[in-house]
Amino acid sequence: MSDEQMMRLMLALRNEGIMDRRLTQMIEHTPRPEFVPRAFARQAWDDVPLPIACGQSISPPSVVARMTQALEVPDRAKVLEIGTGSGYQTAILSQLCRRVYSLEVHKPLYQEATQRLTALGYENVVTKLGNGHQGWAEQAPFDRIIATASYPEAPRALLDQLRDGGLCVLAIGPAEGPQELRVYKKAHETVTSHALGSVTLSPMLSTLSRGQTVT
């Protein structure tokens, strides 16, 4: 990565209102080229989405940063991530919190991301092949929940798995986008939310593809 590439990326993050220095340092030091196909390695530091396997994509760094900053992750937090994808967002989260539990519906992505995260030394991550609409009830409650794909509305199962005082960041809206980025806060069993502007994410799948099994 050249100094010019990093300057462009840091400027893009600043333009998106990313002021959390701890977060920008994590983005600077997380090797994004390791999370994209080799053919796109030269574009890895550009603030653009890039294709990965199973017809999915890795979000631009600015979108990852916006969603992560909104999550306000404490360093002792237990975080649920819906949509492991390539594992890039997972890697960012793992450096900010105590433990990340990450669900992925596509078996090839789940397998590749699990191997990649282990090889790169992100040891506080637990991955699982599973349905992103149901969350991970066995490991609930969570201090923070984030989804890397969009929903038509906030799944009740996810909000139910939030700890009191917890935050959840979701993209809500039509599958074709754009969606509204929303932050949900749980306090004394009451959930309130506020909007943080628009974003465009792929829709969350509701079931595993044929031939896949949850392990």
CB within 8 Å of 187: residues ≥ 6 apart: 164, 165
Mark whether 59 is an active-site residue. yes
Q: At what angle do helices 3-15 and 61-71 cross, to 10 degrees?
A: 50
- Structure tokens belonging to residue 44: 């890895």
- Across 73-189, where does the E strand assignment appear? 78-82, 99-104, 125-129, 142-151, 162-172, 179-187
Instruction: Give me the catalytic one of 2, 59, 150, 202.
Output: 59
Report the alpha-carbon distance of residue 143 to residue 81 in Å, rounded.
11
Q: Give me the sheet containing 78-82, strands edge to edge.
A: 125-129, 99-104, 78-82, 142-151, 162-172, 179-187, 190-199
- Structure tokens belonging to residue 205: 């799948």
Distances (CA, A) of 153 to 6, 64, 122, 199: 36, 20, 32, 15
Residues labelled catalytic: 59
